[in-house]
């Protein structure tokens, strides 16, 4: 990690509470059309600070992707990875494997949940097929790009929904955040469990 990265990382981390404090402090002063001069000035200043902090966060996230030493140093601190000797390095490997495989399992599960669509509904008697008014509709939806859902032609049929599931009810940001937290928690839990096993129970 070079000196500039180290300084920028510190600015980013120490700036985070500042940005939050600024947002909280400015919340009561809603910016209206007829806002007072000093409120506008304060908003502009806060906007500038936030823009700088955003640029910094993008720069650092790109550096994390492209720079190995920076990633090793910064993310190791963030995730509490300790490799002081060969035993800890071996445990880190095992914990990382567990985390990787459980994350993969979660991703596969989420992929299934996001692509499967189930709908159970009733149609009016005049639309009944073979006298059956209850309909179970199964679908596999996969879109490469996010787009707003459009009403399907059969949605025009007057139907009474009994059960409808059309993919994950959470946003992609939530999924990403949950996965980040999962990675950190899973790694540390595995590490603690392995350490306890190695130190307390003898050979496995």
Partner 1 sequence: MSKCLPQLKIINRLHVLRAEHRITQEQLAKEVGVTRATIVAIERGGYNPSLELAFRLARYFQTDIKSIFSVEEENK
Q: Which stretch binds partner 1 (CB under 8 A): 25-33, 85-93, 103-111, 130-138?
A: 85-93
| 86 is a site residue for partner 1 (CB under 8 A) | yes
Q: Which stretch binds partner 1 (CB under 8 A): 24-32, 35-43, 78-86, 132-140?
A: 78-86
| 97 is a site residue for partner 1 (CB under 8 A) | no
| 68 is a site residue for partner 1 (CB under 8 A) | no
Burial class of residue 55, CB neighbours in 10 A (0-12, 13-18, 19+) = exposed
Cα distances (Å, whole numbers) of residue 107 to 41, 166, 179? 46, 18, 9
Q: What stretches of the chain adopt beta strand conformation (E)?
A: 116-122, 134-140, 160-166
Burial class of residue 91, CB neighbours in 10 A (0-12, 13-18, 19+) = buried
CA distance 64 to 160: 50
Q: Nearest approach, Cβ of 194 to partner 1 (angstroms)? A: 10
| 88 is a site residue for partner 1 (CB under 8 A) | yes
| 131 is a site residue for partner 1 (CB under 8 A) | no
Select the residue interacting with partner 1 from 85, 126, 146, 155 (CB under 8 A).
85
Contact 190, 94 (CB under 8 A): yes
Residue 10 or 87 with smaller CB distance to partner 1: 87
Phi (first) and psi of residue 7, to 5 degrees: -65, -45
| 79 is a site residue for partner 1 (CB under 8 A) | no
| 34 is a site residue for partner 1 (CB under 8 A) | no
Residues at the interface with partner 1 (CB under 8 A): 84-88, 90, 195, 197-204
């Amino acid at each position: 990690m070079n000196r500039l990265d180290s300084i920028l990382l510190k600015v980013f981390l120490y700036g985070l509470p500042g940005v939050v404090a600024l947002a909280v402090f400015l919340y009561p002063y809603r910016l209206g059309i007829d806002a007072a001069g000093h409120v506008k000035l304060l908003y502009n200043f806060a906007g500038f600070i936030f823009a700088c902090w955003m640029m910094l966060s993008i720069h650092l996230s790109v550096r994390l992707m492209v720079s190995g030493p920076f990633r090793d140093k910064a993310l190791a601190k963030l995730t509490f990875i300790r490799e002081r000797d060969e035993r800890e390095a071996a445990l880190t490997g095992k914990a990382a494997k567990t985390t990787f495989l459980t994350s993969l399992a979660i991703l596969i599960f989420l992929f299934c949940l996001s692509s499967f669509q189930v709908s159970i509904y009733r149609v009016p008697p005049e639309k009944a097929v073979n006298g059956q008014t209850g309909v179970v509709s199964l679908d596999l939806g996969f879109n490469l790009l996010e787009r707003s859902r459009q009403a399907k032609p059969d949605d025009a049929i007057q139907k009474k929904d009994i059960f409808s599931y059309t993919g994950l009810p959470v946003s992609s940001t939530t999924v990403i955040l949950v996965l980040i937290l999962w990675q950190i928690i899973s790694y540390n839990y595995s590490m603690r469990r392995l350490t306890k096993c190695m130190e307390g129970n003898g050979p496995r």
